[in-house]
Structure 1
């Protein structure tokens, strides 16, 4: 690859950008992706409801998606970005490119091997992740066939995540944040266009996942080339940077994705419950993922490269202020989102999913797990911004220890709550273990002197608390009884839900503005 002036400039340490502006870019793109994701789920719910085909697809997609969170957005991302930031800050452009070549090649080899083994062992993987499917041989076989189509997505999307990590490190946040839109477009297209061509209609969704993986990777390649950072993959396990990434990644494989492991445990246990339980958890989890992705993951995405740079520059004071900023930002938006999900659980599910094969009972059951998940929304968000405080300092062992504690707690709570609350008990156990995880992360960051609360938290707490009370009270007062929503068509639901969302947001932000919260209070240089 030639060292053009543009490429040479691109390989230098990226300029610092405002975290609020970067976070807003990621939030807008993520919002677009989540909205398309909800549209995707509306289509899936209308065509497949909560039947065997939908259950089979959700498990077949959850297995590689779970591993994607580990290899791509999870352990790899958290280990790779701090090392890449250090190279970008302290090393030459040639060393940066050598690192990219070695990492891309090594990642591709490992994931290709895992994918091949998983495709051969598909029936056993399905039985492992959804043992309840073993009672229905046809359902087990259909899920295994789907898994052979969906598992190569892990290889494709992990390479996509590698590309996105490079772009994020160079403060090019928009492209990686937009990329998931292609998954949703592909699944919607497959559901509408390929379903009539399939003997088993739900198999069309598995093809959609495979097509999406290829499209997402191809989409990011031109942007890497424009920066002069397109790798020439070649396995380099002996490269010092790769060895360090592997060292950091090994414990992080578990630690960073505890919430995903907990959700997967929910699926395993839900497969043993009443048919439809897997789908009820899926639809409720999807609604929680909307604010989590738009606010929590967006802030976590922009803060990790910024914290990694500050650690490389040994700027401890700014590091602490960034963490404090991130905590306030997720609470500012996460708390009202949780309140809205609890109050509007049925109206949201009805407006989005109560069409076609989705029944009234499905709505009632999904609302139970949605409320339970919503109680843990703030904890899910806090984990996303507290964990980077360890990963940016290349400490992956501490989150692992915390993750083990949280996972054991989740298992115990699952067994305690599944009997009285069924699938909703699984969701509640996940929420409670997330609070334990977030609490321990914050406590240890404080103990290490890495997290230092800045002045003004007392005033901020009552500002937020008052705003959430006003929001919750307003929604309860304004929202019609949820049974009434069942009698409406699409557009009356859209009008009423839009009015509630806009009205609730107006109440909340009016309260904050009246009591002194301003945009300038949340500006932070990266």
Structure 2
């Protein structure tokens, strides 16, 4: 009996690692096309009025997606749906899924209608600095109205993702964002063939966002049907377990999306700074989102069903093992990514964005913002694992309190730092507030779930930091001959040099991981070897 219990956490850990690999690989593909999308946007719009207006308008439905979709609803729904699958029956769990989809459709339709009508008030609150010139405010309002219905589509996509993840399917939901990127890229090029007006092009880009949402939802539906979810069958909007979902969801609105709320706060404060500040922060944030999505979000997505199963079975020892494994894995991946972004920030920004309307000055200011965002990458990722653990235990109170304090810290730090540091101060405030959030959450989790092996986490983290430091020193030495002046290196040469620097950094880090015998490296290589033998 004891040996069975010992094997179960190991089995869950392997499942988490495997699922994180699937989600990470799919997310990598999506993020690559996301950067192609951002390169297109940077080339066509630069950091001018049209770019600022689109970014500010798109942040609003994107925030609602985090709050009502990937954030509160997904984190509240997955533990309840998992409990229904384990302690109830499969047919009832499927009814819960269908009712949730229908109820979400109704709720988000109301949100979208209110958003379209109240767009002028929302923009004045979110970006008060856009009031002058009036053309900028008018364009932002129009773009907001076009894109607000996107929240309906992406909310349904997020719920489909939660359902499919519990059912053991991770690939399709992770690949779905690729459709949004392709739709936006296609829209920009299609409209640009008929008009050179920045306003017309950005209107077409906003229509591409809606098309992308439709394609993402269409991609999920066949897999739901394959797993037995018959959403066309007659069923009510309400299921008895929806009460539990609702009670969990309401407080998680802030707790699950604190990072996005902080980014929105940064947009609000940046609108009061010189023109282009909103765009600098956006492009820098997009670069941080690359490793955050591949490593942090992938691990959080993979670990939530496992933690929910263990919580439903009251296996708290197993939860401690799974949490510790996920934290060590995330820190092992994000710490070197953080160091790499800091060291290579200027050539990476130049490679991806510096063309067309995105000039050398814009690239430099974006790189400055990236430095301060990147400092918080490890905390952004770790918070997602800790929050998932609380919600798996259906504890919503602690993340809400922590998120509220973190948001308050972000506002105060942002207001204090934006004066002397400009937009860089806002990026630093976001990173520091995420560290505050993580510290509060970890202190409370230590009291609530005392079976976690914190010493193993800290030991792995220390070894990873040493390996990352050696990697940074090697890459810095290599950068001197590769990038004497990033602004003067051509496109293909820059691509080759950045690839060499990144490749060298990865090799050095992996070598140090072997020398230091970092457990996460050994587990990942063992999993890859088993997968190759099976194939």
TM-score, length-scaled by structure 1: 0.94
In 1, Cα distance between the equivalents of 2:457 and 2:391?
25
Q: Is the 8 A contact 1:310 1:319 kept in 2?
A: yes
Partner SS state of residue 358, structure 2:
coil
In 2, Cα distance between the equivalents of 1:77 and 1:341?
30
1:504 corresponds to: 505
1:97 corresponds to: 94
Matches within 5 A, 1:465-504: 465-480=465-480, 484-504=485-505
In 2, Cα distance between the equivalents of 1:364 and 1:387?
35
1:3 corresponds to: none
Q: Give 1:19 deviation, angstroms.
A: 1.3
CA separation of 1:456/1:402 partners in 2, compared to 1, >3 Å: closer, same or farther? closer
- Unpaired segments of 5 or more residues in structure 1? 1-14
CA separation of 1:126/1:195 partners in 2, compared to 1, >3 Å: closer, same or farther? farther
Match of 1:74 among 46, 71, 75: 71
CA separation of 1:344/1:456 partners in 2, compared to 1, >3 Å: closer, same or farther? same
1:86 corresponds to: 83
CA separation of 1:472/1:196 partners in 2, compared to 1, >3 Å: closer, same or farther? same
Q: Give 1:493 deviation, angstroms.
A: 0.6
In 2, Cα distance between the equivalents of 1:167 and 1:96?
12
Matches within 5 A, 1:392-403: 392-403=392-403
Q: Is the 8 A contact 2:252 2:400 kept in 1?
A: yes
Partner SS state of residue 65, structure 1:
helix
**Residues 1:56 and 2:53 aligned together:** yes
Partner SS state of residue 314, structure 1:
coil
Q: Is the 8 A contact 1:104 1:233 kept in 2?
A: no
2:3 corresponds to: none
Q: Is the 8 A contact 1:130 1:268 kept in 2?
A: yes
1:243 corresponds to: 243
In 2, Cα distance between the equivalents of 1:194 and 1:394?
47
Match of 2:163 among 162, 166, 177: 166
1:264 corresponds to: 264
In 2, Cα distance between the equivalents of 1:137 and 1:127?
11
Q: Give 1:465 deviation, angstroms.
A: 2.3
Q: Which moved more, 1:188-197 or 1:23-32?
A: 188-197
2:533 corresponds to: none
1:19 corresponds to: 16
Partner SS state of residue 489, structure 2:
coil
Aligned residue pairs total: 510
Q: Is the 8 A contact 2:483 2:489 kept in 1?
A: no
1:437 corresponds to: 437
In 1, Cα distance between the equivalents of 2:117 and 2:318?
50
Give CA deviations for 1:187-246 in whole Å, capped at 9, x if unaligned: 111111123335522111101101001111011111111111132487856532111111
Q: Is the 8 A contact 1:285 1:370 kept in 2?
A: yes
Q: Is the 8 A contact 1:60 1:146 kept in 2?
A: yes
In 1, Cα distance between the equivalents of 2:459 and 2:203?
54
**Residues 1:47 and 2:8 aligned together:** no
The alignment yields a C-alpha RMSD, in angstroms, of: 1.7
Q: Give 1:121 deviation, angstroms.
A: 1.5
Q: Which runs of 4+ in 1 moved over 6 A?
A: none
TM-score, length-scaled by structure 2: 0.92
Name the structure where helix makes up a greater proportion of residues.
2
In 1, Cα distance between the equivalents of 2:357 and 2:325?
44
- Unpaired segments of 5 or more residues in structure 2? 1-10, 528-535
Q: Give 1:456 deviation, angstroms.
A: 3.8
Q: Give 1:138 deviation, angstroms.
A: 0.8
